[in-house]
Structure formats: C-alpha cells, structure tokens
Chains A and B, each alone.
Chain A
Amino acid sequence: MSVDLATVKRVARLARIAVSEEEAERMMGELNGILGFVEQLSEVNVDGVEPMTSVTPMNMKKRTDTVADGDKAADIVANAPNSDRNFFLVPKVVE
C-alpha cells in the first residue's frame, strides 16, 4: 500500500500537525519508503495467531476504588503556557 499527497494531508490533519505543500511532498516519499519496508509482514502466515496484548503474562493489577491522590490543581497547571485560577486557557471554542 502507498499513500498519495491527499492522504498525507488527511493524516497530518488527523495528527494535528500543520504541513506545508513542500513538507507534505517530502513526507509522502518517506512514508511510502517506510510502508514499503513494512509490506513484508504480509508474507507471514498469521492464521489462528492471537495478537499480543500483554508483554509479560500477568494479571492486571487492581486497586481499591478510593481516592489516592489529588488536590494538586496548582501543580497541574504550573507548567501551562496560559492559565488562570487553576484553569487552562485556550482560544475560544464556543461562540
């Protein structure tokens, strides 16, 4: 499978990365190179093989449903580019 310029732009949009025409062209070549490389996986017979979902066989750890952490609003917004009274500020999203 290979990607065309329109697909590269669509994927960039999905990934929320602005790309110029020139960048999209360059990426198209690079992505097709990588997709060409991974193409060899299609020759592997994976009939009846379960996909790997856990690297180490282990039971999922569970904890009791109680508050273990919190009250850290000031810490959470401390690194924000723009915040006010413990809220993150973003450009207007609702008119």
Chain B
Amino acid sequence: MTELTSLTIAEARAKLSAKEITAVELTDAYIAAIEAANDTINAYVAVTPEKAREMAKASDARIAAGKAGALEGIPLGIKDLFGTEGVHTQACSHILDGFEPRYESTVTQNLWNDGAVMLGKLNMDEFAMGSSNETSYYGPVKNPWRGKNSNLDLVPGGSSGGSAAAVAAHLCAGATATDTGGSIRQPAAFTGTVGIKPTYGRCSRWGVVAFASSLDQAGPIARDVRDAAILLKSMASIDPKDTTSVDLPVPDYEASIGKSIKGMKIGIPKEYRVDGMPEEIETLWQQGIAWLKDAGAEIVDISLPHTKYALPAYYIVAPAEASSNLARYDGVRYGLRVDGKDIIDMYEKTRAAGFGQEVKRRIMIGTYVLSAGYYDAYYLRAQKVRTLIKRDFELVFDAGVDAILTPATPSSAFGIADEDLAADPVKMYLNDIFTVTVNMAGLPGIAVPGGLDRKGLPLGLQLIGKPFEEETLFKTAHVIEQAAGRFTPSKWW
C-alpha cells in the first residue's frame, strides 16, 4: 500500500468515500510526517494535532452518515495570515505575539464547512512581505528540493513558503496561501507545486491579516491542477463581510479539468523576455508553447507595453497600503507591547521591536510616498500607471486572446541567506517581475510546473486569464501538467 501522505486530494477523497481509509488514519499519517520533518523543514509554526484528530473524527462520523462535504477528512495546512479561532495567528510577526483571534476567516470557515481538517499554521514571510520566506520571525523554511549532488539549503520562495514546502514535502494534502505580488505562484514554481491566485474579489479577504488591500488575494497551493481546482471551489465564495467580494456564483472548477483547449488563443508577451534571464527559462517557455500548440491552441505574439513599470508601481502601491494597514499594530489592542515613558514612546518602541527589517522598510517607504507633498508624484502616478497596465491586458483580451503564457519566475530556487540578495532589497523584489503585473491588474494567474533545470530544480510556467475565468486556467494548466508530468522531491529530511 502506498503511503497515505502521498495521496492527492482527489485520490484521498475517493479512498475515504469508498471507506478504504478513515479520516483519522489520514490525519495521523500527516501528523507523524510533520513530527518527523518539521524540525528540518520548518514549514509549520504551529501544529494542532488535537484539533486535527477531533476534526477527523467528526469527518469519519459524517462519512459514515452519508453526509460528507466536498473536502471531507482532507488534512490541510493554513498560512499563518488567515485568522483561525483560538489558534496561533501572527502573520509570522513578532508584533502579533500570542494573538489568537476570536473569529475565523471566511476562507478557512468555508474549508471547515466542507469537512476539511486543520493540521496547523504555516510559516511565511512576515506580513507576507518577501520572496524567500526569510523575513519570518520564525526563521526560514527549507525547500524540500535540493540541487543534484548538492547539500545547499534552498529557499522555498515566498511569501507562502511554508505552504509550498509543506505541500511539496507531503506535510499536508493541500494548503491555503495568499498572493499580493506573486506570493502563491513564485513559491509554487520553486517547489514543483501548483498555485493559483484567483481574480481579485473571488476569495473573501475577511479575517485575513491585511498587507496591501487592493492586491491581496487568497488561493490554494496543491500537488496538481485538479487538487488546486478542488480547493479553490471550497475557498471561494460570495461574502457580505468583504465589500470587494464579487457577486458571482462559484463554478465547479474541477469540471474544467480534461477539457480541450483546441482553438484557444494563447498570447506570448514579448516584454517577458528580460535581460539576464537564464536560457533554461526561455527553453521552458518555448516548451510550454509547443505543448499548447500540440494540444490545438493557436499561439499569438502579443505586447503588454507597460510590463516593466509594474514592479516599480507595485513598490509604491503595496508599501503605501501596507503602511496604512499596519498602523493598527500599536501595542494597545493585541500582540506585543514594549513599555515607554509615554504613549508615543510606547508605540515607537513596540513597533521598533515588533516589526522586522523588511516590514519596517516597507512601512517607511509607504509613509514617505503618502506624506504631504509627495502623494501626487508617487501614489497617484503609480495608480495611473496601474490603469495603463490593466489596459494593456484588456486590449489583448479584446483582440481575442483567451490566456497568456509566461515563465512564472526568472530563475529556480536560490540559496538561503544568499549574500547578493541580502545586500540589495531591489534585487529580491525582481523575483516577482513576471507575477506582479497580474496583481496590479487584478487578474487570475496560475503557476504550474514545467520541468526541472540543469541543477534538477523545478521551474514553473504561468498562465494569466481574463477576470473570473479561472476555469480557462485550470484546463490549460492541466494540458501543461499532462505533458510535463508531476515533480516530487526525493526525501533527504
């Protein structure tokens, strides 16, 4: 018999409903795997074995009663950004020390309503600010992938590094994640997993710790395209508690898996060919084009002329919104407090001790660009550029393009504590060069593994779709997955 933790969600679902396995057995297998691996991988910052077993037991009862939900008995990991009632929720920041919300985020509540089991909370970059999971207060996550004949520890990407690593190392069946500039797709690409950032407004942001409200969107990281479709169906909803949650019914995403892409028009944007991009990325991209062509899609060259301005505009918009959202951490209502001689001193000392360097950097940039006299030059201009970025996509879609194919990242996973990247924040930011445009325009984007590079590390392809056409992405990503195969790291931990 295969190991229970190697089952995909779809496979586990079949075995659970056929009563070949129980939810408690499945959950126990994951808890044992986490106990054995987490000291090394550091994917979880809090494990909730008792809660998990209790939920699994309830799942078994519902299965026995013929009342199984869509995710009944499926053990999931939850990114630390999601509010989970009575359970560690700290956005992996020191400033939220001890915070256990008295409420449940809409996305996680949707999962529990469908019968999913919570294994614990997953590591991430502090407040989702980072591309390597190294800004976490709980330390870096190790990528389950290592280069051939190499012992070098690699980053899993970020900010959803714990989610991606846990899925790749089979420490959960699937995971929730969030994406503000690439935080689902980049770690998915670095770990050989599938990650989708749905259209802005598809998943409720209620109860999710806010980073940049006009860019943040929740989505799943999963082992394959089908599992990602299953998870998104449960995570997405229409939520009166989030005014940006869209009033559109949630489609059955799984039904689009296996559908033909014949006659679909796939755009290839010339602006995504950047200087210094490794040749292997170009090769992967060409391979992706060939696969889609073989499946009957029509390939068209397109232009998205404002692409190069997406990252600089992002580094105004995101920090500006973050500086405002993070103003609430003042040592008064929750989390850390460092006493001072008066209230201002208390605020300043609390925030100095509670926020890490990257978070401080972004709050400072945001405060500066929003300060008197600079608003028009920075924030207003960036929001105008954002309109132009969105218009680029609209023009292409209006011309009949159904989806856009690009590389997901400009490289494969890099080493933990890479000196080059540590010395220059902007260099780290460039990791999101292919993903950030999608957030700026509010579009859906999926990262799917396309192959391994020379070092034996996974590389991902990205598909970008029209608003609320996630189904197109699932069926197209599935075609790539069928051609490329699936990738699992060999176990060294």
Contacts and interface: CB of A to CB of B under 8 A. Distances in A.
Interface of A: 1, 3, 7-8, 11-19, 27, 30-31, 33-35, 37-42, 44, 46, 49-53, 55-56, 58, 60-61, 63, 72, 75-82, 88, 90-93
Given A52-B387, A55-B244, A78-B102, A17 B360 contact: yes
Contact of A44 (B102, B306, B316, B335): B306
Contact of A31 (B368, B380, B441): B368
Contacts of B342: 91-93
B29 interface: no
Interface in B28-57: none
Contact of B363 (A7, A17, A42, A52): A17
A11 B371 contact: yes
Contacts of A63: 240
A47 B72 CA distance: 54
Given A16-B347, A81-B337, A92-B342, 19 more contacts: A15-B364, A18-B351, A19-B352, A27-B361, A31-B364, A33-B425, A34-B361, A38-B313, A38-B382, A41-B381, A46-B384, A55-B201, A55-B441, A56-B244, A56-B246, A58-B247, A80-B332, A81-B331, A92-B343
In the A-B complex, the 3 residue pairs with the smallest Cβ-Cβ separation, listed nearest first, are: A51-B383, A55-B442, A81-B337
A50 B99 contact: no
Contact of B442 (A35, A50, A56): A56
A46 B352 CA distance: 37
Given A15-B367, A16-B344, A61-B243, A56 B98 contact: no
Contacts of A53: 383
B390 interface: yes
B234 interface: no
B390 A52 contact: yes
A34 B425 contact: yes
Nearest to B379: A51
B100 A79 contact: yes
A61 to B, nearest CB: 5
Nearest to A61: B243
B68 interface: no
20 contacts: A17-B351, A19-B352, A31-B364, A34-B425, A37-B426, A38-B315, A38-B316, A44-B385, A46-B384, A51-B384, A55-B200, A55-B214, A56-B201, A56-B467, A58-B247, A79-B98, A79-B101, A80-B332, A81-B332, A81-B335
A76 to B, nearest CB: 8
A73 B67 CA distance: 36
B199 interface: yes
B315 A90 contact: no
A89 B426 CA distance: 40
A50 B312 contact: no
A14 to B, nearest CB: 5
B201 A31 contact: no
Nearest to A48: B384
Given A44-B388, A53-B383, A34 B334 contact: no
A54 to B, nearest CB: 8
Given A51-B386, A56-B244, A18 B348 contact: yes
Nearest to A7: B368
Contacts of A30: 361, 425
Contact of A34 (B240, B363, B384, B426): B426
Contacts of B247: 58, 61
Given A11-B371, A18-B352, A46 B388 contact: yes
Interface in B428-486: 429, 441-442, 467
Contact of A37 (B245, B315, B387): B315
Contacts of A79: 98-102, 333-335
